[in-house]
Chain A
Amino acid sequence: MFSLSVVTPEKVHYELEAKSLIVPGSEGYLGVLAHHAPLITVLKPGRLEFVDSDDKMHLLSVSVGFLEVSDNKATILADAVEEADSIDIDRAQKAYDRAQDRVTKAFEKGTDISLERARKSLQRALNRINIYKEIN
């Protein structure tokens, strides 16, 4: 067991003892168990999974963020996380459509910055939709 905290600018989502954790690291998914070596990594949009002390599995969507592990403590700082069962699919779908639109427009105009941004929000929306589908 190790202590896990999931914090976003809005609130502290979780602060508990966990048995295992899987996060979307920038270089691919990685797992954390108790007494993991000290680590700092960048998170990309994806699925966040952890098992708490009662063997209950939690599934969340995470947008960009960071993970730090040290002293048997894992800290996730994310821009936003959403529990899989509280994802608003309509909102996610709308965000997806909007981002798709923006990608097309940015592509036509050929502006790199807005294309990059639009792609990122498309990725985030798609991630939320995928996680929603996983449990529904």
Chain B
Amino acid sequence: MATLRDVKKRIKTVESTERITKAMEMVAASKLRRAQQRVEETRPYSKKMDEMLSHLATGSTGDIVHPYFEERDVKKQTVVVFTSDRGLCGSFNANVIRKINGWMKKNSDVETEIVTVGKKASDLLKKHQNPLVGNFSDWGGSLEMGKARELVSFLSERFVAGETDRIILFFTRFLSTVRYKLVDELYLPIAKPDVSNNETKVNSYYIFEPTPEIIYSALMPSYVTTKMVTALVESFASEHGSRMMAMGNATKNAGEMRQTLTLEYNKARQGQITKELLEVISGAEALVG
């Protein structure tokens, strides 16, 4: 049986762990709130951008001539894996890595290179047989526009230069505080907007200033940046959400453990008192006898 001191020591350890996990849960919760707000703020912009692109495609005659739309035979492809920089967020990173590994096994006939976002992905995929061509870490769990642009230009330059024929993003979409969904989204080439079945077809007498080509070349960089920003903020929000849940569970477990340990401690203490009493009584009896 554990001695009183040992149990007391363990109670202390569990208590301090509980305090730490509790604090981490609160930090994650406040970061989640901010990230969630960010997700909601970016949605209208990206929705309007989609609409504008679709109207542009419907309204302008002739083919879309922008390199981002160019569909080639896929000989080489790039996967972008979104994970967190830091751990202690439950199965958040493990899920992403599992999905990407499964996907790559299925698509092993095409030469695939990896670009990672977040430290965890580069740590976990470093030893992968597929080459790691880029790594964008140290976000600190929030969006940094300059860095996002760097990532966008890195990817789009690779695509335009023909070093890759297809770029796919693997990230966690934020549905609610307790619901996330792992998605794979084609990033480049951009799927041509569906022109055939569009209610604005009737309105195809748009005026373009100066020309559709120039508008495309101005719109497309913004479009791909917006898409990337969306993926990033969704992933960050999911990360904070997962961490909040993981830390919440840890706090709960620590609390339970503390209770069992306290019970054990009290039992041991009671046992010791009984033992001492017995000793005193038997000592007294010996004197009398």
- A residues with CB within 8 A of B: 5, 7-12, 25-27, 30, 37-42, 64, 66, 68, 70-71, 75, 77, 79
What DSSP secondary structure best describes chain A's contact surface?
strand
Given contacts A41-B208, A66-B52, 9 further A-B contacts (CB under 8 A): A7-B48, A9-B45, A38-B59, A40-B52, A40-B56, A66-B218, A68-B51, A71-B203, A77-B52
Which residue of A has the minimal Cβ distance to B205? A38
In the complex, are the beta carbons of B210 and A27 less than 8 A apart?
Answer: yes
Using a CB-CB cutoff of 8 Å, which residues 169-217 of chain B contact chain A? 200, 203, 205-210, 214-215
Q: Which of B42, B203, B219 contacts A38 (CB 8 A)?
A: B203
Question: Knowing A11-B41, A26-B209 touch, does A40 contact B215 (C-beta < 8 A)?
Answer: yes
Q: A8 contacts which chain B residues (CB < 8 A)?
A: 45
- B residues with CB within 8 A of A: 41-42, 44-45, 48-49, 51-52, 55-56, 59, 200, 203, 205-210, 214-215, 218-219, 222, 226, 229
Q: Which of B206, B226, B229 contacts A70 (CB 8 A)?
A: B206
In the complex, are the beta carbons of B48 and A40 less than 8 A apart?
Answer: no
Q: B207 contacts which chain A residues (CB < 8 A)?
A: 37-41
Interface pairs (22), CB distance under 8 Å: A7-B45, A8-B45, A9-B42, A10-B41, A25-B209, A26-B214, A39-B207, A39-B209, A40-B59, A40-B208, A40-B215, A41-B208, A41-B209, A41-B215, A42-B210, A42-B214, A66-B52, A66-B218, A68-B51, A68-B55, A70-B206, A71-B203
Minimum C-beta distance from A116 to chain B (A) = 14
In the complex, are the beta carbons of B226 and A9 less than 8 A apart?
Answer: yes
Q: A7 contacts which chain B residues (CB < 8 A)?
A: 44-45, 48
